[in-house]
């Protein structure tokens, strides 16, 4: 039994949690699940929680980078949270990159940042309304 992707709307952001060792079809579902949820819910961005992930190979990394790019095109921001040390070391040695995606150590920090982003955006909205 392969564990799937969990998508949760949390205030202004989507929290997308990847399982420990997703197979290729689960990885490719990341894009569609995320973009569908972005469209469905009015959110400012996406927190991609990789804290369970034990393996980030080049295919997985490319899918994450592409998904973040698409989220940007839809007007959202992507934060990647919780990458394990062993995964960060291996990804670096493998020479994969996650594009221009912002990364944070923990889900806690991601939620703090997401709070700041949505506050800033609502301030901007208020200002432009004046």
The site for another protein (CB under 8 A) is made up of: 2, 21-25, 54-59, 62, 85-87, 89-90, 93-96
Beta carbon nearer to another protein, 95 or 128: 95
82's tokens: 């919780």
Task: Kindly state the smallest distance separating residue 72's Cβ from another protein, in Å.
Answer: 20
Sequence-distant (≥ 6) Cβ neighbours of residue 54 within 8 angstroms: 20, 21, 84, 86, 87
Beta carbon nearer to another protein, 6 or 94: 94
Beta carbon nearer to another protein, 86 or 122: 86
Under 8 Å between Cβ of 77 and 104: no
């Amino acid at each position: 039994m392969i564990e799937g992707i969990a998508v949760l709307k949390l205030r202004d952001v989507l929290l997308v949690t990847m399982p420990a060792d997703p197979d290729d079809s689960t990885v490719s579902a990341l894009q569609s699940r995320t973009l569908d949820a972005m469209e469905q819910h009015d959110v400012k961005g996406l927190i991609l929680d990789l804290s369970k992930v034990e393996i980030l190979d080049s295919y997985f990394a490319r899918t994450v980078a592409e998904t973040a790019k698409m989220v940007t095109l839809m007007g959202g921001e992507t934060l990647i949270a919780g990458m394990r040390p062993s995964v960060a070391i291996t990804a670096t040695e493998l020479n994969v990159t996650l594009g221009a995606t912002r990364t944070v150590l923990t889900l806690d920090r991601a939620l703090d940042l997401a709070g700041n982003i949505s506050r800033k955006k609502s301030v901007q909205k208020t200002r432009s309304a004046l």
